Amino acid sequence: MNLADRLAQDVASLGLELSPHQQEQLLAYLTLLQKWNKVYNLTAVRDPAQMLSHHLVDSLSVIAPLRRHGAPARLMDVGAGGGLPGVVIAICCPDTDVSCVDAVAKKATFIQQVAAELKLPNLHGVHSRVEALGTEPFGVITSRAFASLLDFTSLTRQHLAEGAAWMAMKGQHPADEIAALPSDVDVFHVEQLTVPGLDAQRCLVWMRQR
């Protein structure tokens, strides 16, 4: 099965409705990730089929939960690296303005290149440490393998809009990390995710300030 057919099958398995153009954009992003990875070392995964399951489809698994929550006007992806899940969210949620923040300049440059090549006006690559950013408010702040929940929430809380939420992508249920959170961070939902083609535990930890 080619990558386009596999992606279409996985999108259906996740219960998502994506247009043919959005699926083409996702595959074009995958191609850019492969191309730039040779120079920029964006991911340790080199095989295109593995990139599809471990990165693209893994990130797609958060789209339905995000839409149920109410896709925000502005979203920040912290420690975005090669743009996961930020680029995927920008493609699937065109009405959400997505800022992918990374302390490594070449990773932010790659996101800017993706935004230009895929014509995504709602996608921005930002080269900065998150704690050094201005205090623009975001409706959702997300991360994937960025830091512990304590560090993630501590470093980004000044960027949370009123009533906004943190959405952290994790592997297995991070009970120890949740226990380490301060009393003013409320974990209001831990959502188990099933990622087609990936035999690994995944969950989303939703948090907000009390």
For the segment 80-127, what is each residue's pLDDT rounded down to a tens digit?
Answer: 989 999 999 999 999 999 999 999 999 999 999 999 999 999 999 999
Which run of H or of E encompasses 163? strand 160-170
Torsion of CA 36, 8, 52, 116, to 10 degrees: 20
Please tell me the total count of domains within the chain.
1
Q: What global pTM score does this model have? A: 0.96
Domain that holds residue 102: 3-209
Q: What is the pLDDT of residues 40-78, one digit of tens each?
A: 777 767 787 778 888 899 999 999 999 999 989 999 999
Q: What is the pLDDT of residues 177-205, one digit of tens each?
A: 999 999 999 999 999 999 998 888 999 99
Which CATH number does the domain housing residue 89 bear?
A: 3.40.50.150
**Closest listed residue to residue 60, CA positions, set 16, 121, 104:** 16
